[in-house]
């Protein structure tokens, strides 16, 4: 699944045009940085997913963040259309691929293309390091922010792409982004302020926040390619959307009860709920299968004689 999507993704204009454009703008941004006297260094609040670092004078990271965090992950908004419109997902159910493997393959393909583009920019970072004026930890934090944020945006785009109505796609994607922004600010800002730095507890919350919203986007897409929904089951898509709305509130309560240190516990709780929100009830393995109520064969009817 990943190889199929990667082959198709590398041929799309959503990869080729941004890939060529990012190198052009990277050269231009480096030229701007070399001819300025601005030297930015890390401080106690420098860490992964610290979006405020992008608002400083960093033309190089403006280009990288805009293309790798926003433009390329948005290509996932069309990934599920081909499966739903052409009925390919029904054929995929006939293979050994599970629904998880389908949506994870979609995510890995679009994320792999983004990471491939990001890795092509490493020579520019090496040039910036040897020329001088580059703080190593600050740039590592910015790169890891791009890596993680691109996966989260791509996951939300894939989840939104599973809706056929364009207004529903836009609405779900905006809801996902708002929920992600609200939860991120609630869980990360208090953690950094309580510790006075972006230390161990802060980055533990970052990992929990990352896992939570990557899984939420995938669960939305997974629930949309389900073939059968029992009458007694609530639609898993609606349950996932409810989690998006309630997520900031749950995470806020977790951050409040832990005095801002471990708001990521709320993220892990939502991750657990999202993981099991789309599972049909099954009988235990020890229970015997019911006997088939099939009509008797013609040969068996003839043995019964005239009574039948």
Alpha helix stretches (DSSP H) within 162-199: 166-195
Q: How far apart are CA 114 and CA 74, in angstroms?
A: 11
CA separation for the pair 26, 263 (Å, rounded): 36
Contacts 24+ apart (CB under 8 A), 94-97: 97/1
**What is the pLDDT at residue 133?**
62
Written as tens digits, the pLDDT of the chain (308 aa) is 666 666 666 666 556 777 788 888 888 887 777 777 666 777 888 999 999 889 888 888 888 998 889 988 888 887 776 666 666 666 666 777 788 888 898 898 889 888 988 988 888 888 777 776 678 888 899 999 999 999 999 999 999 988 888 899 999 999 999 999 999 999 999 999 998 889 899 999 999 999 999 999 999 988 888 776 766 667 888 889 999 999 999 999 999 999 999 999 999 999 999 888 887 666 677 777 777 667 666 665 565 555 54
Predicted local confidence at residue 14, as pLDDT: 59
Q: How far apart are CA 111 and CA 127, in angstroms?
A: 26
First to last CA, the chain: 55
> DSSP for 63-100?
HHHIIIIIITGGGGGGTTHHHHHTTHHHHHHTSS--HH
Token pair listed for 265: 């516990």
**What pLDDT, on the 0 to 100 scale, is given for residue 209?**
96
Q: How far apart are CA 88 and CA 5, in angstroms?
A: 13
pLDDT of residue 141: 93
Neighbour-count burial of 63, counting CB atoms closer than 10 A to its CB (0-12 exposed, 13-18 middle, 19+ buried): buried
Count how many Cα atoms sit within 13 Å of the Cα of residue 50 in the half-sphere of its side chain: 24
* Cα Rg, the chain, nearest whole Å: 25
Let me know the angle formed at the C-alpha of 8 by 64 and 167, rounded to the nearest 5 degrees: 70
Report yes or no: 22 and 70 within 8 Å, Cβ to Cβ: no
């Amino acid at each position: 699944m990943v190889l199929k999507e990667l082959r198709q993704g590398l041929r799309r204009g959503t990869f080729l045009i941004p890939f060529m454009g990012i190198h052009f703008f990277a050269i231009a941004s480096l030229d701007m940085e070399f001819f300025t006297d601005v030297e930015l260094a890390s401080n106690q609040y420098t860490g992964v997913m610290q979006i405020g670092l992008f608002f400083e004078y960093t033309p190089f990271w403006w280009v990288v963040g805009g293309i790798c965090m926003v433009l390329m992950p948005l290509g996932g908004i069309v990934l599920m259309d081909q499966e739903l419109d052409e009925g390919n997902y029904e054929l995929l159910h006939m293979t050994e691929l599970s629904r998880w493997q389908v949506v994870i393959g979609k995510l890995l393909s679009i994320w792999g293309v983004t990471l491939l583009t990001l890795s092509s920019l490493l020579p520019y970072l090496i040039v910036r390091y040897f020329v001088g004026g580059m703080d190593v930890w600050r740039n590592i934090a910015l790169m890891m922010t791009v890596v993680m944020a691109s996966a989260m945006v791509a996951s939300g785009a894939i989840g939104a792409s599973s809706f056929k109505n364009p207004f529903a796609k836009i609405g779900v994607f905006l809801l996902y982004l708002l929920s992600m922004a609200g939860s991120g600010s609630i869980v990360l800002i208090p953690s950094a302020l309580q510790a006075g730095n972006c230390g161990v507890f802060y980055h533990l919350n970052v990992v929990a926040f990352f896992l939570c919203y990557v899984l939420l986007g995938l669960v939305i897409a997974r629930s949309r390619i389900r073939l059968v929904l029992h009458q007694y089951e609530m639609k898993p898509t609606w349950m996932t959307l409810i989690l998006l709305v309630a997520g900031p509130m749950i995470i806020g309560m977790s951050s409040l009860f832990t005095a801002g240190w471990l708001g990521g516990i709320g993220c892990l709780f939502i991750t657990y709920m999202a993981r099991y929100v789309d599972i049909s009830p099954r009988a235990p393995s020890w229970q015997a299968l019911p006997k088939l109520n099939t009509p008797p064969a013609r040969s068996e009817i003839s043995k019964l004689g005239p009574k039948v």
